């Protein structure tokens, strides 16, 4: 055995071997100690923690894995927190949903059992449901919290546990830290009550979908245009996930009559092995391959793909006889441009409306808001911060829409998380509106660039797995923070924003100002030529992400390819300088 198992790992493993854990779990741990020390280290070197998406990890035995006991401990901690936070309520309530991943339904039942064992009323979805429907259910039933079992778009080995507050938004500070504290206070698995109370568990069947769909229908801004363009040829794929039922139903309710699903990826109950893709991530072109091929064969005009829990959507649009995939910034641009235009045309702008984006999302959304004198807010990465802005402004200002570059968007405020079901409907409506005006989605995007400037963005994710990877990511961030580059792409850096220190450093005037946002391990570098580079570790995956944003001038649509190439070359030079 070449790998030495350190004392901390062995101590944790022995707690599981000696504690009240099932025999199969103990047998697996013993086998790993004897035959796979690397895996036992990865399984026990730390405890799973809440990140920007909650609890997420590889399924398996151990404190650093998703299993019955880590899920049970998290739920016991959440139960303890809810009972302390709502001491005067006669009945605390939570809602629970799950996606198509392996073990998702099992983990959802474990979660329901622990909550109900602690006297908490549970609304448990009977079948797999999109994450945003869980957010909607929390608000509909007046719950104090909620859980959805999902690892979003991660590979099949993963599962996760997203925790929600009473507003339907994901847990934010200080609630996340307080819940973790409650979980950490559980020193023995015997403190977790797994003995569920069936009388406190109410099963929600598919009838609840109708309430959700009716709310989504109310968002439509151009029903008369959809009536004219109801034959828009749409190809949709749920990528083996929860969008399989609701997205086609909502498109039908909106009035679209020519919707085609990718049969190989549309199982009724999903498929947690995701057999047709390497990764069920609509950010990756390979995940949309089957849908694009189908669109080519049947004359499709718009392709949409949702991830397993249907909170993110990727789209592809016509480019001559072919299709081009739009990134999250481009899709957000088209959607927000449509919303603002129609709100203005429909006389809905009264001076108190707003949009929200994250700090790493395209600055073009700000230009669009300014065109219509609509307020905009920048928040940290993570849709929970968009939900928090909506909550804080509720009753004072009206939310139009918002989004983040990682393919998550929201329209309306009855859901408080990114919603791919809503987004698919509204993106299809945007395409119908563009077609009714005699233009395709790609040319519409180019026209926006001509008016506001050509914004070119690129994301590079550097994967560093496991304990050593986490340490390397910390080292990379420390290097940028302690020894920041002087220039990027031949252009001098003039401003640095350090969100962990809550500081904006003006290198030209040698001044420092405070950033009025929660602390976060994010760095942004701004150059003289208008470039922006952001660096942040992912809160849910073993990655460090580099976001590149450049701006150029597009005088006419005909110059698109030339300016696109020029901006891409500038990005490539910066990437090379950083050694990525």
The CA distances from residue 403 to 38, 312, 379, 507, in Å, are 40, 10, 10, 30
Sheet with 398-404, edge to edge strand ranges = 375-379, 353-358, 398-404, 408-411
**Cβ atoms of 41 and 9 closer than 8 Å:** yes
Place of tokens 């004359």: 299
**Cβ atoms of 155 and 234 closer than 8 Å:** no
Strand partners, 5: none
Classify residue 532 by its DSSP letter: E
**Cβ atoms of 125 and 96 closer than 8 Å:** yes
CA-wise closest residue to 158 among 305, 33, 279: 279
Could you tell me whether strands 201-204 and 121-125 are parallel, antiparallel, or unpaired per DSSP bridges?
Answer: parallel
Length of the chain measured in residues: 580
Peptide bond into 174 cis (omega under 30): yes
The tokens for 321 are 């006889």
Place of tokens 């996340």: 176
152 is catalytic: yes
Contacts of 266 (CB under 8 A, 6+ apart): 237, 238, 240, 244
- For 443-467, b/e burial (b = at least 16 CB within 10 A) is bbbbbbbeebbbbbbbbeebebeee
- Determine how many CB atoms are found less than 10 A away from the CB of residue 313: 27
The CA distances from residue 256 to 231, 323, 411, in Å, are 6, 21, 19
**Cβ atoms of 272 and 298 closer than 8 Å:** no
| Pairwise CA distance, residues 276 & 290, whole Å | 9
- Determine how many CB atoms are found less than 10 A away from the CB of residue 53: 25
Classify residue 519 by its DSSP letter: -
Could you tell me whether strands 353-358 and 375-379 are parallel, antiparallel, or unpaired per DSSP bridges?
Answer: parallel
Sheet with 259-261, edge to edge strand ranges = 259-261, 234-237, 302-306, 313-319, 322-325
Classify residue 263 by its DSSP letter: G
Choosing from 100, 152, 423, 520, the catalytic residue is: 152
| Pairwise CA distance, residues 448 & 146, whole Å | 39
Active site residues: 152
């Amino acid at each position: 055995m070449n790998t030495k198992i350190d004392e901390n790992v062995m101590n944790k493993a022995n707690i599981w071997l000696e504690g009240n854990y099932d025999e199969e779990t103990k047998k697996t741990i013993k086998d790993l100690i004897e035959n796979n020390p690397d895996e036992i280290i990865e399984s026990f070197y730390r405890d799973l923690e809440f990140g920007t998406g909650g609890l997420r990890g590889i399924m398996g035995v151990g404190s650093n894995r998703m299993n019955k006991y880590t899920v049970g401990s998290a739920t016991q901690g959440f139960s303890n927190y809810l009972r302390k936070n709502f001491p005067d309520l006669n009945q605390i309530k939570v809602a629970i949903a799950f996606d198509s991943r392996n073990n998702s339904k099992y983990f959802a039942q474990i979660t329901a059992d622990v909550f109900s064992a602690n006297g908490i009323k549970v609304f448990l979805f009977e079948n797999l449901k999109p994450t945003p429907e869980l957010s909607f259910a929390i608000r509909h039933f007046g719950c104090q919290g909620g859980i959805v079992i999902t690892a979003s778009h991660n590979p099949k080995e993963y599962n996760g546990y997203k925790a929600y507050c009473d507003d339907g938004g994901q847990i934010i500070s200080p609630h996340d830290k307080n819940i973790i504290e409650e979980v950490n206070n559980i020193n023995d698995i015997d403190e977790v009550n797994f003995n569920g109370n069936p009388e406190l568990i109410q099963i929600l069947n598919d009838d609840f979908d109708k309430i959700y769909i009716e709310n989504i229908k109310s968002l439509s801004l151009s029903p008369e245009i959809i009536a004219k363009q109801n034959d828009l040829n749409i190809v949709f794929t749920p990528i083996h996930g929860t969008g399989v039922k609701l997205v086609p139903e909502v498109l039908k309710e909106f009035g679209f009559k020519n919707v085609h699903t990718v049969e190989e990826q549309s199982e009724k109950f999903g498929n947690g092995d995701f057999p047709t893709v390497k990764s069920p991530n609509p950010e990756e072109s390979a995940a949309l391959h089957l849908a694009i091929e189908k669109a080519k064969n049947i004359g499709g005009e718009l392709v949409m793909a949702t991830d397993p829990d249907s909170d993110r959507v990727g789209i592809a649009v016509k480019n001559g006889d072919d299709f081009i995939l739009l990134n999250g910034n481009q899709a957000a641009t088209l959607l927000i441009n449509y919303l603002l235009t129609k709100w203005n045309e429909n006389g809905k702008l009264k001076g108190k409306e707003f949009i929200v984006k994250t700090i790493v999302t395209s600055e073009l959304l700000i230009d669009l808001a300014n065109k219509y004198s609509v307020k905009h807010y920048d928040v940290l990465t993570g849709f929970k911060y968009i939900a928090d802005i909506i909550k804080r402004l509720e009753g004072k200002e009206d939310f139009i829409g918002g989004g983040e570059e990682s393919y998550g968007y929201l329209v309306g405020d009855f859901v408080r998380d990114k919603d791919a079901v809503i987004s698919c409907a509204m993106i299809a409506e945007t395409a119908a509106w563009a077609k009714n005006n005699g233009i395709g989605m790609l040319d519409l995007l180019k026209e926006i660039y001509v008016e506001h400037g050509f914004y070119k963005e690129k994301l590079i994710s550097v994967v560093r797995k496991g304990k050593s990877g986490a340490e390397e990511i910390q080292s990379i961030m420390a290097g940028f923070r302690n020894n920041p580059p002087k220039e990027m792409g031949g252009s001098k850096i003039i401003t640095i924003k350090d969100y962990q220190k809550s500081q904006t450093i003006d290198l030209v005037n040698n001044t420092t100002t405070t950033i009025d946002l929660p602390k976060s391990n994010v760095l942004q570098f701004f150059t003289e030529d208008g470039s922006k580079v952001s660096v942040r570790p992912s809160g849910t995956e073993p990655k460090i992400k580099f976001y590149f944003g450049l701006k150029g001038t597009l005088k006419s649509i005909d110059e698109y390819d030339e300016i696109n190439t020029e901006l891409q070359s500038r990005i490539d030079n910066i990437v090379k300088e950083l050694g990525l």
